[in-house]
Structure 1
Amino acid sequence: MKVERFETDYAGKKVIVEYGRLAHQADASVTVQMGETMVLATATMSDSARPGMDFFPLMVDYEERYSAVGKIKGPRFLKREGRPSNEAVLTGRMIDRGIRPLFPDGLRNEVQVIIMPLSVDGENKPDIVGMIAATIALEISSIPFDGPITGCRIGMVNGEYIINPTAEELEFSELNLMVMGDSKRITMVDCDARELDDDSMLEAFRIAMKSMDPMIKFVKKIKKKVGKEKIPHDQLKWRASFTEEDVKIMEMIKKSAKKQLDKYLFSTPKGSKGERKRIIHELEDRLIEEMKDKLKTKDRSAEEAEMYLRDLMQKFFFDFIEDQVTEAILERDQRVDGRKLDEIRPLSAEVGIIPRTHGSGLFSRGETQVLSFCTLGAPGDDLLVETMENDGKKKYFHHYNFLPFSVGEVKPIRGAGRREIGHGALAEKALLPVLPSQGEFPYTIRVVSEVMGSNGSSSMASTCGSTLALMDAGVPIRRPVAGMAMGLASDGKRWKVLTDLQDMEDGKGGMDFKFTSTSEGITAIQMDSKTAGLTMDIIKATFPQMRKAINEVLEVITKTIPEPRKELSIHAPRIISLTIDPEKIGDVIGPGGKMIRGMCEDFDVQIDVEDDGTVMITSEDMTNAHLAEKKIRSIVRTLEVGDIFEDAEVVKIMPFGAFVKLTEKIDGLLHVSELEWGHVDKVTDKVSVGDKIRVKVIAIDRGKVEVSMKALMPRPEGYQDRPRKPQRRSGPPKNRQSSSRRGPPNRGPPRSRRD
């Protein structure tokens, strides 16, 4: 196959697209290169659909490869890529949300898009390159797709917007906004920000949409040159095929149902999800009972007619109800629970409701209820993160759990899936801008959100629950963070924005536009849509309605707990922090870690030592923590003349004095003449081995330290110092003359063997 190469400039960066070099058996494949970051994307579709498939089976996989960064990673006995990292899952989910709404409604062929970084230069992020590659692969494939779209990232450094910033620029950026779409619509948003104001965020959206236009023209050029013809409608697999009789009966059911919806669904507010489900099932039963006699024939019994109707209604009735809910909103501003379009369901918040936890918060919005727990740990309890691009540690992390009972279902529990990882990450980054620095609050922080009930945006409830739990735990966050999900009712021409969407309002033509914010500005955004994309008018209309809702939630949070608690829980560990000379870190750790392990075992503490000399001692028993601190200070202490030791231990008695332990490595000589003012016959008359005494350093000479007890006592009036007697040496005195010679003593001429 001939290799086709295309080049363009994207916001000042050269983009190279190659088609025809790799993965020829995929429906379509391209490599996209920006700088030295190169990503392969493939798009493939199955010929058939799996039996019983009631949703569009799209799979988007972001496959990290360590070879792309020139490293060998992984456990010692398994040096290959295994389970996707959280970052890989999140990148795959981003691209999935951006392309999913652009496939035909009702398609049941399996579609798989695989994005694989081949080279990563550390400057150009592979996620944005992967977005571009995935959308080009779909656009030139035979798979039906309502493109073209592309991807774009917007950053902000010192108030200046940057299109597709480098990895280094992102480290200093106040904004990390990623979108997919074109100059007129946006299909996906994923954003984190440092409390950015609404106007600045809207401007970032405008810049993103404008900057994608040249790239869209470039993609059209590629499609014109190498694009395949799309597969015809009749050769694809669809959700359901209806006969003429089916269509006729469906219209009869819809006509009858519309007359009864006003009575059963819209007559009075239906506040709960269960109540609405019950009414719909009752209406369904009523319609079947009404229709089955009309369908009864010689060849079809009443029972067979009922089975036929139930099977038919399963294929279309719920979608029809969602369409009617949308129509009621567009025509009459009427929601099934009776709320106004900008009204939030009843809110409540509680803190400190679970004993022994370090912090807990319960947040409820309507039937959505989340219980969050905050646990404080030692600095060494941080989370080690290993990805294709980065290795590092996380001092704050959030885990989200969604068990089946939260929606009244019975399902096997198999651990965290892609959805749980995504929701947990969203609530995690929502709180990052308000967390204290490591210097202010050295604890490792873990927050777990347990969804107790779900009917609309449990991830935003998790953000609110996390805020409550952190404040209850005494974590000094700068400001509370609240979250809100905004919805949309639309039919292709008309649209209206909804505050706090729930079950029936999240149908075709809807959106799930999630915002987290403090009173000062936005911290995170995530959006997916069931439309062909959001226009700038829709985005602009969403912001003031969102801000009103966020402020209402913040008011509930601050009424519950106005500020973080001043004291930590009695069950939380305490940390003592000190700084030592980095040159003495080895003394604290000891050979093979013997010293630090011994202290951890002896005092039942956890000790963490940073490269800059910061030492943190964590313990639930402050007495033990202070003992460990005392020992560490003793290990690293540098002695000076005049230093006073309050409890130096006598470790050895000699005729001329005693040796006392000053630090872990240094003993001092306490001469008999320094025991007190006046004559002392025996050292043991005053001190014994094991005594703790108060001494002062009086001399340091070539590493030898002398201390005194009497220097800390009042000098008697008229006292005269006596000269200290020189220490006697054991053995005969040395011959000064012979000791000054070099080499062996002269013993005369050497003797011969014969002598």
Structure 2
Amino acid sequence: MKKKEFSMELNGKKLSAEFSDLVENAHGSVLLKYGNTVILATAVISKEEKDADYLPLTVDYEEKFYASGQILGGNFNKREGKPSDEAILSGRVVDRTIRPLFDQWIRNEIQVVITILSIDQDDPDVLGVVAASLALGVSKIPFAGPVSAVRIGKHKTDGMEINPTYTERENENFEIDLIACGKDENINMIELGGDEAGESVIVDALKKASEEIEKINLWQKAVIAEIGVPKLKLTAPVMPEEIKNLFTTKIEPKLENFVMSGIPGGSKIGEIMDLWMKLANEKYPDIKSSFAEHLFEEKVDTMIHEQVLKNNKRADGRGIDEIRPLFAQAGGISPILHGSGIFYRGGTHILTALTLGGPSDAQIINGMEESNLTKRFMHHYNFPPYSTGETGKMGNTNRRMIGHGALAEKALLPVIPKNSIFPYTVRLVSEAMSSNGSTSMGSVCASTIALMDGGVPIKAPVAGIASGLMMDKKGNYKVLTDIQGPEDHYGDMDFKVAGTKNGVTAIQMDVKVAGVPIPALTEAFEKAKTARLKILEVILKEIAEPRKDISSNAPKILVIKINLDQIGGVIGSGGKTIKEIKEKTGADIDIEDDGTVYCTGKDGSAEKAKAIIEEMTHEYKAGEKFEGTVTKTTDFGAFVKIGQGDTEGLVHISEIAPFRVEKVESLLKAGDKVPVMVKGVDERDRISLSIKQADPDWAKRKTNTTSPRPPLN
């Protein structure tokens, strides 16, 4: 094997890149190691162009079970299957970072594959960006890198950490978990989860991240300079003069009226585009329609940028910082739903439905990165084709849906009550009913409304907004608040920020340029906060606080605590006892390792199950009184069942009455209801009961109704 290794120190730990002939047919490959986490990145470009009107870049992020030293999967299939949500999200981090650094006119297929070979305490998602950049950088594939990524963590009481481990990130006091990517002191990708973090804290973290990123980029440049190969000389398509002249004479004079129409959405732009495409195809049928389409997109892009930068004008007529009309509705769909929320921001309309379940409804995640993880809060996002007035396949969950759902989930997670306060499994489903910009942030708002409508005692309401950026080649820029469709499509940044009135809970940023300067992001934070507070006002006007009670259609969860040595008794041999309780009551029963028992059910089933388990695990003490049922009589006394379970105690013949009883059967028989009091419990947990101490007159009354009282001795 031929190989060459390069290394640098990153936060006191060795980061090494090994180049070899292991994957010699790939156009670029690297083994990147950090601690005991090892990943392989490969890059390949096709020989032929693809007949497409977009950059055909694919990023695959491959998790391998063996990487964690486990044999995973089901009983009948031990192979890796479709990508996990975590793999899709990690792949999107790489894709969103490297995509802006290719010439967008390239039509050769480019595939980057990140394969996780070994995983330890260091998360491979950040390494995936660096490895992809190196594999592309040393290859013949045209790429405007290098680009690097770093994770910055911060606890509420401590300073910042560079690339914190999984263990360090699990701390409850973690304030931010930031992934930032970039080059040339600019940032081009952000993923952040925060616990109501302050904007200034996040800006400081971005500055720290940028410092570390530039160190890694400098190292990458040295590696690429030493072993990189010459880049392919791909020829950019040349726009036919006939198409340019036709557009200039027939379309350009009226373009502004359509693009800057003052009408929300892209309908007017689509209208003139259809007119242009028809004209171009009729006039020059032998010229590929992609030229006409590309020219149109270029002209509209230029116009939208210039109008914002020079005239402070937006396509729909709003001011630079103006939010579209807002609407919020809590409930009102159906009493069957446990909670619902509707949120409008202009032409973006979201419906979110809430469902509450018991602990057994939680999702079990068993994968390379997370094993036997119980997930009790879920947010799922759907984007049906009718939301944009189009037809298409239904039922498929694509990477975008998973990414948007995860972003909203991340934004809401910090305000979800702890299990000890609200032991329910919580599932939210956001349906994008109409889309004209940032349905993911609309989903955050509608989800907050649904949670409050459903009586979930959230810590604080959360809202989200998307900001945009128009920037020219000289670096002049304007930050736009609440971007709509055309501004998202033609703009340079999609900057989504969600949070409470106190701070930020989630950020996601994508760009179409090489990067955004931190001062522009600082300004975007300020504007996003102002907008967020306005949205929260609308939400709180509709529903000021979570409803006092959950829906009557939601299951009730009752919680009790039992001793650890009682768990086996409640479960029973082979689960027999707990199964019988479930069948008898209709409730679901979940028992934690610490002895916490959750009884979940409707129509009184939870109460019944709780009563049975409490009785089974009740520790009897002297002086407690019960009404019991005689199960058996003997010469020396009677056995009496007490409580709701099968607990029995012995009433000795001397404890039946305050006078001498010659024969037990003269006063007691099986099935009799009798008052008893616990005398004591011996070391073998045998319970001694007394009727005469519970009710001294019981035997006298019983004797008077049956036979003459026997003489006293």
Which interval holds the TM-score relative to the shorter structure? over 0.9
Partner residue, 1:371: 351
Partner residue, 2:313: 334
Looking at structure 2, the residues matched to 702 and 33 of structure 1 have their Cα atoms a distance apart, in angstroms, of 60
Which amino acid in structure 2 is aligned with residue 247 of structure 1? E
Partner residue, 1:347: 326
Task: Describe the SS at the equivalent of 1:343.
Answer: coil
TM-score, length basis structure 1 = 0.88
Partner residue, 1:147: 145
CA contact (8 A) 1:590 1:596 kept: yes
CA contact (8 A) 2:338 2:355 kept: yes
**For residues 305 and 626 of structure 1, do their structure 2 counterparts lie closer, same or farther at Cα, with a shift above 3 Å needed?**
closer
Larger CA Rg, structure 1 vs 2: 1
Worse-matched range after superposition: 130-139 or 674-683: 674-683
Looking at structure 2, the residues matched to 61 and 311 of structure 1 have their Cα atoms a distance apart, in angstroms, of 28
Identity of aligned residues (%): 41
Partner residue, 2:595: 613
Partner residue, 1:271: 264
Matched residues, number: 697
Q: Given the alignment of the two structures, is residue 547 of structure 1 paired with residue 529 of structure 2, yes or no?
A: yes
Looking at structure 2, the residues matched to 29 and 307 of structure 1 have their Cα atoms a distance apart, in angstroms, of 41
Looking at structure 2, the residues matched to 641 and 166 of structure 1 have their Cα atoms a distance apart, in angstroms, of 53
Looking at structure 1, the residues matched to 512 and 67 of structure 2 have their Cα atoms a distance apart, in angstroms, of 35
- C-alpha distance after superposition, 1:345-394 (max 9, x if no partner): 11101011221100100011111111001111001111001121211110
Looking at structure 2, the residues matched to 702 and 477 of structure 1 have their Cα atoms a distance apart, in angstroms, of 47
CA RMSD of aligned residues (A): 2.5
Task: Describe the SS at the equivalent of 1:195.
Answer: strand
Which amino acid in structure 2 is aligned with residue 211 of structure 1? E
Partner residue, 1:478: 459
CA contact (8 A) 1:183 1:212 kept: no
Partner residue, 1:389: 369
Task: Describe the SS at the equivalent of 2:464.
Answer: strand
Task: Describe the SS at the equivalent of 2:578.
Answer: helix
- C-alpha distance after superposition, 1:646-696 (max 9, x if no partner): x32221233554211136454222244433444667655644433433211
Q: Given the alignment of the two structures, is residue 419 of structure 1 paired with residue 400 of structure 2, yes or no?
A: yes
Task: Describe the SS at the equivalent of 1:48.
Answer: strand
**For residues 155 and 309 of structure 1, do their structure 2 counterparts lie closer, same or farther at Cα, with a shift above 3 Å needed?**
closer
Superposition map of 1:199-210 within 5 A: 199-210=200-211
Partner residue, 2:221: 220
Looking at structure 1, the residues matched to 291 and 161 of structure 2 have their Cα atoms a distance apart, in angstroms, of 53
- C-alpha distance after superposition, 1:675-725 (max 9, x if no partner): 344466765564443343321112444544331222122579x9xxx9999
Partner residue, 1:296: none
Partner residue, 1:126: 124
Looking at structure 2, the residues matched to 685 and 561 of structure 1 have their Cα atoms a distance apart, in angstroms, of 68
Task: Describe the SS at the equivalent of 1:254.
Answer: helix
CA contact (8 A) 2:468 2:491 kept: no
- C-alpha distance after superposition, 1:148-189 (max 9, x if no partner): 111111011223011111222211232111011125111111
- C-alpha distance after superposition, 1:53-107 (max 9, x if no partner): 1111111111111111111111111112111111011000010000000001211
Looking at structure 2, the residues matched to 638 and 448 of structure 1 have their Cα atoms a distance apart, in angstroms, of 44
CA contact (8 A) 2:265 2:485 kept: no
CA contact (8 A) 1:599 1:628 kept: yes
Partner residue, 1:257: 251
Point out where structure 1 has 5 or more consecutive residues left out of the alignment. Answer: 293-302, 726-755
Partner residue, 1:67: 66
Looking at structure 1, the residues matched to 480 and 394 of structure 2 have their Cα atoms a distance apart, in angstroms, of 33
Partner residue, 2:508: 526
Superposition map of 1:139-538 within 5 A: 139-157=137-155, 158-172=157-171, 173-234=174-235, 241-242=238-239, 246-254=240-248, 256-266=250-260, 269-278=262-271, 280-281=273-274, 288=279, 305=284, 313-355=292-334, 356-391=336-371, 392-493=373-474, 494-508=476-490, 510-538=492-520
Looking at structure 2, the residues matched to 452 and 219 of structure 1 have their Cα atoms a distance apart, in angstroms, of 45
**For residues 462 and 682 of structure 1, do their structure 2 counterparts lie closer, same or farther at Cα, with a shift above 3 Å needed?**
same
CA contact (8 A) 2:259 2:268 kept: no
Partner residue, 2:704: none
545, 552, 556: which one aligns with 1:570:
552
Partner residue, 2:13: 13
- C-alpha distance after superposition, 1:400-431 (max 9, x if no partner): 11111111111122421111111110000101
- C-alpha distance after superposition, 1:235-262 (max 9, x if no partner): xxx5x553xxx32431441354332134
Looking at structure 1, the residues matched to 228 and 88 of structure 2 have their Cα atoms a distance apart, in angstroms, of 29
Looking at structure 2, the residues matched to 431 and 130 of structure 1 have their Cα atoms a distance apart, in angstroms, of 27
Cα distance, 1:275 vs structure 2: 4.8
**For residues 688 and 251 of structure 1, do their structure 2 counterparts lie closer, same or farther at Cα, with a shift above 3 Å needed?**
farther
Looking at structure 2, the residues matched to 508 and 102 of structure 1 have their Cα atoms a distance apart, in angstroms, of 17
CA contact (8 A) 1:588 1:596 kept: yes
CA contact (8 A) 2:50 2:56 kept: no
Point out where structure 2 has 5 or more consecutive residues left out of the alignment. Answer: 701-709
**For residues 640 and 19 of structure 1, do their structure 2 counterparts lie closer, same or farther at Cα, with a shift above 3 Å needed?**
same
Task: Describe the SS at the equivalent of 1:233.
Answer: coil
TM-score, length basis structure 2 = 0.93
Looking at structure 2, the residues matched to 83 and 334 of structure 1 have their Cα atoms a distance apart, in angstroms, of 46
Task: Describe the SS at the equivalent of 1:174.
Answer: strand
633, 648, 651: which one aligns with 2:628:
648
CA contact (8 A) 1:508 1:531 kept: no
CA contact (8 A) 1:65 1:117 kept: yes
Partner residue, 2:707: none
Partner residue, 1:592: 574
